[in-house]
Amino acid sequence: MTLGAGNDEIQKQIDHLFSSILVEQKTINKVKGADPGKESMAKKLLEDYGDNRGRGFIFDNLSTGRGHGPFTEHQDGSVKFDLINGIGINLLGHSHPVYIKSCLEAATYDTLMCGNLQPYGPSKELTKSITDAVDDSRLKHFWFAGSGSFANDLALKLLWQKQSPKYGLIAFNNAFAGRSVATQDITTNPAYREGMPRNLNVSYAPHYDQNNPDGALQNTLDALDKIWNENPDSFCAIMMEIIQGEGGFVFGTKEYYQGVFDWAKSKGIYIWIDEVQSFGRTHELFAFQTFGLQEYVDIVTIAKTLQVGGLLYTEELNPKPGLIAGTFNGSIPSIIAGSKVVKFLTEGNFYGQNGRIKQIEETFIGKLQDLMAGSCKGKIKYAGGIGTMIAFEVGNSDKEDTWKFIRKLFENGIVAFSAGRGPVRVRFLLPISLKDEHIDEIFQILEKTVHEVF
């Protein structure tokens, strides 16, 4: 335990508070419908909030701050399975001991935010644990960033400085890199940058084609050659989500990535992996480790599951002083949580072919395939994904059918989201706190919902 102000009495009270909070949170342990008496009050709260921020919300789900494991409680009194957890923030599950302890420990510190001129012990610890976790690669340094988008902005700056004046970037169709002034130009969905000027020079190649595994690599390489030949020697890097998050959990094989990255190396450009969504969620801590790509990576961006953003880079990419800095270097609770998350994940039995994450993946995909072949034949069209990133298609695999289904799923007790634009998929970013009995109940709700909607 890392405390700021600490003595035996404080320690005792922290232990006591920790247990009391956990015991109380653990009472949120099953799906439950809204309380009729609370429904209109909850709607009004969210409407007022929406009015103040200028836009309503996708779901009626203002949280009460209570939840445990996969369960989340909303102001209308309902409790639901949270299978998207804020688009991938709470991999460990609601009110996980790691999160509660981190906040209690942080309360003993003399301030809330770490700053560039105000480093703290927990920042040092997190930097050490995350760099130790990649000691099988050439990645050597870690720098904090306020979000996934900001981590990506910083990555771009390192690459530009090193490769100046080669400012072009190669990315992939259906990429999502964030919504900052720079990253909105890498993100391909035009709806996310309506009315925005183009600031970056980004060229796009097709990612792995799940419908044409044999031709996928050649298809990508042909496009890369074309991009290169049109503007030779003008690119600083190739940027890739190994598992495309917003793109619908599209991912390739080790051989595919090796082929693409060998191409990049042959052209002398850097390899930048965006793991903002995939960090922690596949069969190793990093997706690039899951696919055995350690020798290739030059720069990797992370956020979400870590509770704070940041980027890992090689010695070669260490920027000159002055290029990257900022007032905030993460909040103390988030940074304490970041180290604990890394420790919890790497020391527990989560990774590898026999780890819990692989088991969750196999159970979900297996059960979805059973539904596809059985009672939901013709209504569920595709089931796939990797680790805790699971996606499937319903109805016509378009936006209308997918959202009709997701909204009904929400009413029936599961919070999910969509991914991809053609096909559109139902997306789960599963918490690792799921137990087998939860999964059984989730599938009963899924099957019922499919029949209600289609």
Residue 148 near ligand PLP by CB under 6 A: yes
Q: Does 245 bind ligand PLP (CB under 6 A)?
A: yes
Return the DSSP state at 316. G
Residues 356-385 contacting ligand PLP, CB under 6 A:
none
Which residue stretch of 188-196, 241-249, 407-415, 432-440 sits at the interface with ligand PLP (rule: CB under 6 A)? 241-249
Q: Which stretch binds ligand PLP (CB under 6 A): 162-170, 274-282, 311-319, 323-331?
A: 274-282
Give residue 373's identity as a one-letter amino acid code. A
CB closer to ligand PLP, 14 vs 186: 186
| 153 scored as a contact of ligand PLP (CB under 6 A) | no
* 123 touches 336 (CB < 8 A): no
Report if residue 241 touches ligand PLP, rule: CB under 6 A.
yes
- Stretch of 91-99, 144-152, 206-214, 325-333 lying at the interface with ligand PLP (CB under 6 A): 144-152
387 scored as a contact of ligand PLP (CB under 6 A): no
Phi and psi of 235, rounded to 5°?
Answer: -110, 140
- List, in order, residues 6 or more apart from 443 with CB less than 8 Å away: 367, 371
Strand partners, 203: 170
Task: Give residue for tokens 């930097």.
Answer: 127
Residue whose entry in the numeric block shows the structure tokens 């939901």: 376
Smallest separation (angstroms) from ligand PLP to the CB of 183:
7
Q: Is 419 in the site for ligand PLP (CB under 6 A)?
A: no
Q: Does 87 bind ligand PLP (CB under 6 A)?
A: yes
Contact stretch for ligand PLP (CB under 6 A) within 17-25, 147-155, 221-229, 322-330: 147-155
**Residue of 149, 282, 433, 449 interacting with ligand PLP (CB under 6 A):** 149
**Do residues 169 and 201 make contact, with C-beta atoms less than 8 angstroms apart?**
yes
Tracing tokens 């000691």 back to the chain, one arrives at: 135
Contact 354, 142 (CB under 8 A): no
Query: 67 or 178, CB closer to ligand PLP?
Result: 178
DSSP classification of residue 290: H
Among 19, 155, 161, 87, which Cα is nearest to 418's? 87
With contact defined as beta carbons under 8 Å apart, do 281 and 388 qualify?
yes
H helices present in 164-237, as ranges: 213-230
What character string, x for contact with ligand PLP (CB under 6 A) and - otherwise, covers 293-312? ----------x---------
- Under the binding rule (CB under 6 A), the answer on residue 346 touching ligand PLP is no
Taking CB under 6 A as the binding criterion, the range among 34-42, 145-153, 212-220, 318-326 that sits at the site for ligand PLP is 145-153
Cis preceding linkage at 423, omega within 30: yes
Instruction: Kindly list the residues in this chain that would bind ligand PLP in the complex (CB under 6 A).
Output: 87, 147-149, 152, 176-178, 241, 245-246, 274, 276-277, 303
